[in-house]
Every structure is written in C-alpha cells, then in structure tokens.
Structure 1
C-alpha cells in the first residue's frame, strides 16, 4: 500500500492523536484505565473518519480530477461543457474546474489553428495549380508566336484565340476568388429587397441559352405564378442561379433537360435546379461546396469553370439566412435546392 494512500495517512494520524490523548489522560491523577481506553479509542476512530474524509474527498479526489484533466489534454478529450461544471467553495475543486475550462478552450484554439493551417496549405497548393494552368497555356501560345509562328496568319489567329481564352479563364478565376474572399470577409453585404424571382430566373436562362443550345439541352422553368416576390439581393441571387444552372448544363446529358422549379411554402419559396446528368457519388456530396473541389478533375477541366462556383453559391445562400442542399443519385441526376423568404402580394410595397 502506497505511503501516500489516504487510508494509510489517516490511520497514522489517528494513532498519533489517539496516543497523545491517551498519554495526556494517563498523567492526569485519578483517571480510570477504562476511561483512558475509551478516550483513546474514540479519538482514534473520530480522527480516522475525519482525516480520511478530508484527505480522500476534499483533497485526493480533486487532485485526481486535476490529473485526469491533464490526461484529457494529452488525449484531446474535452467533451464537457462549462454548464456541467458545478460551482464549489472547495478551492481545489474550483482550481480543477478553472484548469479544465481553460485547457479545453486552449485545446479548441489549437485545433482551430491547426485546421486553418491545413486549410491554408491546401488553398495555396490549389490556387497555385489553378493559376499555373492558364498562365502557362497563354505563355506557351505567345512565346510560340514570338518565335516565328506570327508570320503564319492562320496559326497566329488560332494561337491568339487560345491565349485569349486562357487569359479569360484566368480573369474569371481571379474575379471569383475576389468575390468569394469579399463575401467570407463580410465586405459584401446583401442588399435584400423585393425581387421578382421569375423575372431574375428568366434573365439567367436567356443568358445561358447559347451554351445550352450547343449541347441541345432544354432549360425549363416551372412556376405556379407569373410573378413571385421574395426578399433577396437580386444581383447575388442571379449570380447563384447562374452558377447552378450553368453547372446543370455543363454536367447534364447531351440533349437532356434542366428543370428549374419553384415550390411555395408557408413562409418561403423553394428553388430547385435539377439536371439529368451522371450524378455525384455519395462520398463526394459533403465536399462539393469546398473551394476548387471537383468530383472528376479531368472532366471538370475539360468543361471549364473555376472550381469556385458552388462555394460562392453556398456563401450567397447562407448570407440570405438560408441553406443550400444537394440530392444526387449516380446516373439519375443531381438536384440543388434552397429557400428564400416569401413576400406576400399584399406586402408588395415592401
């Protein structure tokens, strides 16, 4: 048995105090032996119980809790909330509580810093790769022209068009990066006002019609009303719809359909954009809104895009106090949906 065990310490202290009490009474004249024995025994058991309680419940138990807290730090296991930590007048218990709260807070900060560092490394790697592709392509075409290909009119025009296309892609990437960074930093505020959702959607479909025609895809709007008024930022919602419908056209089936559907709820209008493409495997669904994440990188590169469209959509929808959801089945197509606050006709003066 360890010498620091509270039982051993309690027994030793109880024996000492009992011996001192009995010894004192022994030297008192006329004290009966039975009284000395009873006093010694009573003192021993009373001291044993009292000291054991103090050591075990008020000191050793709390020291063990502090030790457990340190062990949790090593294991990063801090699941208790501050509400579960009871207040106490025991200074050791209060110390343990404060250590637990402080260490848990610092551990969360460390974990967040590590997560952000990992995100920074991945982002730098991704952005370097994304910027390198159009820059190197444009460089190659221009240097080829400088080296003499400019004298051939047919080759010159072809290479200039390809260089321009690469630079247009670079411009789109930088513009999307700037937009995404401004939204995340809160620099772009949503100017929510009365918006005719049907009108905005028709404008987006008309804008993307040439691209849909190239693949013989029909984009159809299904709406129960000629006008639907929602509380939204017209420009940003148009941007979000453009990204969603453009994605549906890009990844839809040749000669297929893209359906945009409005469904009324009590307080909202739900917007759905559905394609009939190859769908998204389940293991990718929780990551498709990340920057530069592509389900099939080679095919995505062929179809163009910056890899930031869905990330921008997510932030725009979140800024409207809504949430975008995705449902997809392999070979059955993909549906993106989100909701916007409805404005009743009687509130048309909003």
Structure 2
C-alpha cells in the first residue's frame, strides 16, 4: 500500500506526525508541570492534532502545488495538442509530474527539429524551383525583347531567336508537366493502367530510344545476360518512364566510354528486382538520403549543364510508390552507382490447348 500512496500524502503524513509529536510532548510537559496528567487525555489530544494537521497540510499542498501547476497546464496553449493524459494531471506526485513534463518537452523538441528541417527543405525547394523556372523565362524574355527592339526585321535572326525562345518554352512546359505529375501522384489523382508485359522487351525498347544519347559519350547500354521473356504486372508506360529516367541519369553522370548494365533477378515468389548499374562518377554518401527530393542536385553546377527538370528521380520514386514498390540506391563515389526497384511478376499457369496450338495464359499475384 505504501508504494501506491501518493507522495503528497506521505508529505502530509510525516509532517502531521512531527507536528503531533511536538504538540503532544509540549502539552504533556505542560500538563505534568500543571500536575493534571491524564494518559487518555494525551491520546485523544495527540489523535486530534494528527488528524487536524494531516487535513490542513494536505489541503495546503493541493491548493498551492496541484492547483497552481494545473493552472500552468491550462495556460500553456501548446498543451492543447500535446497528448498528455488529463488523468496524469490529477496527481500531486512531483516525480510523475516531472516525468510527464520531461516527456512533453522531449516530444516538442523533436517536433520543432522536424519543423526546422522541413522549413530548410522548403526554402531549398523554393530556391530551386525559382531558379529552374526563371532561367528559361529570362531566356525567352531576352529573345522576344531583342526581336521587338528591331531584330525581327532580319529573317535569319528572327528565325533563330524564335527557335531558341521555343526551346525555352518547351523547357518550361517540361518542368510544369513533371511537377503536375508528382502532385497528382501524391494526391492519388493519377490512375495506373496495370497490365501484363515483358520487362525484358521494355528494357530493349528504352535502350533503342536512348541509343543516340548514349552514343554521344560512347556509353554502352546492355543487359548483363540473355533473358527469356519475363512477365510483370504494372503500368507499362509508367515503368518505361522509370527506366528512361534511371538510364538517362546513368548516361548524364556516366564517364565517356563507360557502360550502363541492367540485370533482372527473382526477389521472391511474386517479385522481381531490376538493377540499373553504371560505372559513372558515383554519389557521395551525404547526398544519397536526399536524392529523391524535388530539384535536389548532387552537383549543382554540372547537373544544370546537362539539362533536365531536376525532378526525374522524384518522379521515379513516386511512380514506384504508386505501384506499392520500392527503389534502392547503392553507390561508391568515383566507382559507380546501382539503382534497383521491385516489380510484381505474373505467374504462368499450365498451357491451354486450342485449335491453333498451345496458348499460354497468365494470372497475377
């Protein structure tokens, strides 16, 4: 029972005992001197002193400690959403109270740190997006103003400047479209059209599309070995976009005469993992945690020269998350990088015979 006794009661109890002992001894001495000592009278007197002292002290503790601290709780507006259990505030146990306040302070400290981190990312994001948009805007504005100032009279200059302004507008549209796609993915507005398709064939198609881009740096695009048809269940167009963005990045940051190699492995009964390896410049460890943030660039000067919206990896992450899949990164600075992602695979059932021969049907996990 002593362990469950509230400490304010212990305080009142001990103080009452001290007061009772003092008053009883004092009164007993007085009565002895007065020669009218009575044991029964002393016991009744001691009991009365104890009860009265206990009630007064407990009341004072409740009033001066508990009520004032509760008022502090009520006055602090942050406590409205702190999650502190109101029942905990009914105690006058200072140790419990201290633990609750310390817990609250630690929680608020973590919240503040998270908010500060988000604010830093927000400022970086606003700075990046303003830079990405103002560069093509100023380019377009410069060419148009030059034409309006008289250059449009020269047919050659007019055609050249309009073509360059058109490229600037195309870049703006590209950035806005990418931002719009990410927003739709985050809000769930972008629906996926899932179907079965051969991931090996899709990879070869992406290689064909990017062959000329890779040839400018003499980078080889290849599979690590010959693969039979590997059926997966996903949105074909979106996975093509994922592969395109990853391979374009490997070319962009790859070394001249380098290589980008893709491998496919069984991860589990119903999953495969696609790995995109390159022997490019690699990524420092400090950047890996932020690679998938919007507009985050590892090399802020060199990457802008290479073009792009700065949203490629962010789109990749969101597209894969929309498929309930994951993406992984491993990189060694100066050696190369590997981006890998999972996909749901189709399971081939027993062949079904028909008049034209044997048909293969596919079901999905």
Structures share fold, TM-score greater than 0.5: yes
Of 169, 173, 179, 1:177 maps to 179
The 5 Å alignment of 1:287-302 reads: 287-302=290-305
CA distance in 2, matches of 1:105, 1:198: 49
> Among residues 333, 342, 346, which one is paired with 1:343 in the alignment?
346
Distance in 2 separating the partners of 1:271 and 1:98 = 49
Q: CA shift at 1:172, angstroms? A: 0.9
**Cα deviation, residue 348, structure 1:** 1.0
Q: 2:15 aligns with which of 4, 11, 14?
A: 11
What CA distance in whole angstroms lies between the structure 1 residues aligned with 2:279 and 2:298?
16
Moved more, 222-231 or 147-156: 147-156
Contact 2:21 2:46 in 1 (8 A): no
Q: Provide, for residues 73-115 of structure 1, a one-character-per-residue CA deviation record: whole Å limited to 9, x for no partner.
A: 99xxx8xx88xx7977x8448xx89999999999988877776
- Match of 2:346, SS state, is coil
Q: Give the distance between the partners of 2:72 and 2:331, measured in 1 at CA.
A: 46
- Alignment gaps of 5+ in structure 2: 1-7, 350-360
Contact 2:346 2:363 in 1 (8 A): no
- Aligned-partner Cα distance in 2 for 1:51–1:235: 79
Residue 121 (structure 1) shift: 4.4
1:338 aligns to what SS in structure 2?
strand
CA distance in 1, matches of 2:362, 2:90: 63
Which residue of structure 2 lines up, in the alignment, with residue 188 of structure 1? 190
Following superposition, the deviation at residue 259 of structure 1 comes to: 0.9
* Matches of 2:52 and 2:204, distance apart in 1: 88
Residues 262-273 of structure 1: pairs in structure 2 closer than 5 A: 262-266=264-268, 267-273=270-276
Distance in 2 of aligned mates of 1:209 and 1:329: 26
SS in 2 for 1:297: coil
CA change 1:67–1:215 in 2 (3 A) is farther
> How far 1:124 moved relative to its partner?
3.3
Residue segments in structure 1 that go unaligned for 5+ positions in a row: none
Quickly say closer, same or farther: Cα 1:245–1:210, change in 2 above 3 A: same
| In 1: Cα distance, 2:272 partner to 2:226 partner | 11
Cα deviation for residue 251 of structure 1 reads 0.8
Q: Distance in 2 between matches of 1:64 and 1:279?
A: 60
Aligned partner of 2:254 in structure 1 is 252
Who is 1:324 aligned against?
327
How many residue pairs match? The answer is 330
Q: Aligned partners of 2:64, 2:260: CA distance in 1, in Å?
A: 69
- In structure 2, how many angstroms separate the alpha carbons of the residues matched to 1:112 and 1:331? 33
CA contact (8 A) 1:17 1:43 kept: no
Is residue 145 of structure 2 the alignment partner of residue 143 of structure 1? yes
Distance in 1, matches of 2:49 and 2:150, equals: 107
Contact 1:223 1:262 in 2 (8 A): no
CA contact (8 A) 1:14 1:43 kept: no
State TM-score, norm by structure 2: 0.72
Cα RMSD, aligned residues only: 4.6
How far does residue 152 in structure 1 lie from its aligned partner after superposition? 4.6
- The aligned counterpart of 1:310 is 313
**2:5 maps to what in 1?**
none
Structure 1 range deviating more: 193-202 or 114-123 = 114-123
Contact 1:328 1:335 in 2 (8 A): yes
SS at match of 2:192: coil
Provide Cα deviations, 1:25-49, integer angstroms capped at 9, x if missing partner. Answer: x9xxxx9711222333455557767
In 1, Cα distance between equivalents of 2:271 and 2:63: 59
Paired position in structure 1 for 2:240: 238
Partner of 1:219: 221
1:124 maps to: 126
- Pair 205,54 (structure 1): closer, same or farther in 2 beyond 3 Å: farther
